[in-house]
């Protein structure tokens, strides 16, 4: 028999909680995450167009022959979290291997956001040289469960006289 009463009301609630909640969470947070990402991308494109005139380069030295009025360090850091659904997809990727597409956008957004923040720190600069990008791990967590993408960017903002 084990349970001849089949499922009683509270069993139904348990079934709904155990199976329904995670699926509901995937859908709910997945859609919220997708919405947040779309908005971020839209904002990135507008801000990139607005700051397109300020070049960034990775070269350490540049010989232009022009007088430098001002050179200073600009640095920024960006952290972008995945949503519940992205993490679910990444966990499956962990099994099968391959490109974790759900996380590609996280790094892409972090990198572009960081460059924009650098540019926005020195709107009067002529160029940002010696750009360096590094990923870091500020938010450590349990094994297998990362919290998001963390990126630090720094460079030298140069203003010509």
> What is the three-class DSSP state of 130?
strand
User: Binding of other proteins at residue 19 (CB under 8 A)?
Assistant: yes
Choose between 55 and 123: whose C-beta lies nearer to other proteins: 55
Q: Which is nearer to other proteins, 38 or 72 (CB)?
A: 38
**Which of 76, 80, 83, 102 is close enough to bind other proteins by CB under 8 A?**
102
The helix (H) or strand (E) run that includes residue 47 is helix 21-50
Helix axis angle, 101-121 relative to 21-50, nearest 10°? Answer: 40
CA separation (Å) from 83 to 30, 52, 144, 145, 147? Answer: 6, 30, 15, 12, 9
Contacts to other proteins by CB under 8 A: 1-7, 15, 18-19, 21-23, 26, 41, 48, 52-53, 55, 62, 64, 88-89, 91-93, 95-96, 101-102, 104-105, 107-108, 127, 142-145
């Amino acid at each position: 028999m084990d349970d001849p009463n089949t499922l009683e009301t509270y069993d139904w609630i348990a079934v709904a909680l155990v199976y329904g909640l995670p699926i509901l969470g995937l859908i709910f947070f997945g859609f919220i995450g997708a919405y947040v990402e779309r908005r971020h991308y839209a904002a990135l494109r507008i801000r990139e167009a607005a700051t397109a005139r300020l070049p960034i380069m990775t070269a350490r030295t540049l010989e232009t022959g022009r007088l430098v009025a001002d050179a200073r360090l600009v640095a920024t850091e960006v952290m972008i979290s995945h949503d519940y659904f992205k993490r679910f997809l990444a966990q499956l990727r962990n099994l099968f291997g391959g490109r974790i597409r759900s996380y590609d956008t996280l790094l892409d957004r972090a990198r572009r956001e960081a460059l924009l923040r650098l540019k926005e720190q020195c709107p009067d600069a002529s160029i940002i040289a010696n750009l360096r990008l590094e990923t870091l791990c500020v938010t450590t967590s349990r094994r297998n469960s990362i919290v998001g993408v963390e990126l630090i960017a720094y460079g030298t903002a140069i203003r010509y006289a």
